[in-house]
Each structure stands twice: as C-alpha cells, then as structure tokens.
Amino acid sequence: AAGNAVSASSHFRRAIQVDPSFAAAYVALAEIYLARGDVGAALEAVRVGIRREPGHVPLHLTLARALREGGDRAEALEVLRRLVDRAPRSVAARLEHAALARARGSWSEALSSYRALLAMAEEGEDVPAEAREDARRYAAALRLLVPELDPTRQECEASPLRAALCAADSAR
C-alpha cells in the first residue's frame, strides 16, 4: 500500500471486503481520497466505517477533517463536540476540537479543551510537548482576551477570598 494511491486504495478496499469491521482501512481509504481532493468519496468511506465501528475515534476524527476540508466547518465542529463527549481522554480529539473551536470563535469550547489537554498532561497522558505548549499559550491568551470565560475571574468581589484569588491571578 506504500506505492501509488490507486494501488493503495485497491488494497484498502480489498481489506474492507475481507473484514468489513476493519476500521483502520476505512480511515486509510478516506485519507487517500482526501489527498486526491475527493471529499465526497472520503465522507462516504468514513461514514460507512462509522456505521460498522461507531466507537473508533480515528474514524470520527477523519470525518471531522473531511467535513472541514469540504467547507462544512460547523458540522465538523459538531462531530468533534460529540467525540470529546464520548472520548474525553482522547488527546487527538481534544487537539482537533480546541483548534477548530478557536478558529470558529467558540472561545469557551476551545478553552475547555485546552485546559483538558493540560490536565491530561499533568496526569501523565502522552500529550506531545508542542501540543502542551500550544495549549498553555492558547489557554493563557483566551483567559486574557476573554476574562469572563475564566471561572476564577467571575464575581471577583463576591468574597474576600475570591478577590484575593483574582488579584493573585492578575499578578501573573
């Protein structure tokens, strides 16, 4: 399958015929179609794969990518929302969700996924260093740009403790 796209797509179609539940073959086939610019074929391949293996995270990630590349960023974001609800510990899902939510101006969603990525990294999940740094940078920027999204900044005058937390946070 490492040769040209035609022989690779034939290989993955045969693999699907042999084992219709082989989710990775649907992902690979959709990726080949996307590389050729055939978003419609990619969407069909990934949707068939999802019908057969609905819990396979890479299928949903590929669906979101195909939707995004096809110009339907709103539906791609909806796919990613459902995916992070079903697989909240998926680093790849969180990364894609955060990036697309940020690009679409869904700041609170982006901040939530960036914070989840940072928490997962602190808990020992394998979050790539570059992704951790991006998550730190974007989470900090979103907190500064949109302070009402930061729960520690809400109702700073509600109590002396809340005021102290807000002051300490502002000093950082």
pLDDT per position as a tens digit, 40-84: 999 999 999 999 999 999 999 999 999 999 999 999 999 999 999
Angle between helices 91-103 and 107-122 (to 10 degrees): 150
Give the distance from CA 98 to its chain's centroid: 6
Tokens of 148: 């009402």
Tokens of 110: 């982006």
Distance CA 18, CA 154 (A): 57
Distance CA 160, CA 140 (A): 24
Residue 157 has pLDDT above 70, yes or no: no
Q: Under 8 Å CB-to-CB from 119, ≥6 apart: which residues?
A: none
SS3 call for 104: coil
Where residue 1 falls among pLDDT bands split at 50, 70, 90?
A: very low
Q: Note whether 83 and 93 are within 8 A (CB).
A: yes
The predicted structure's pLDDT at residue 75: 98
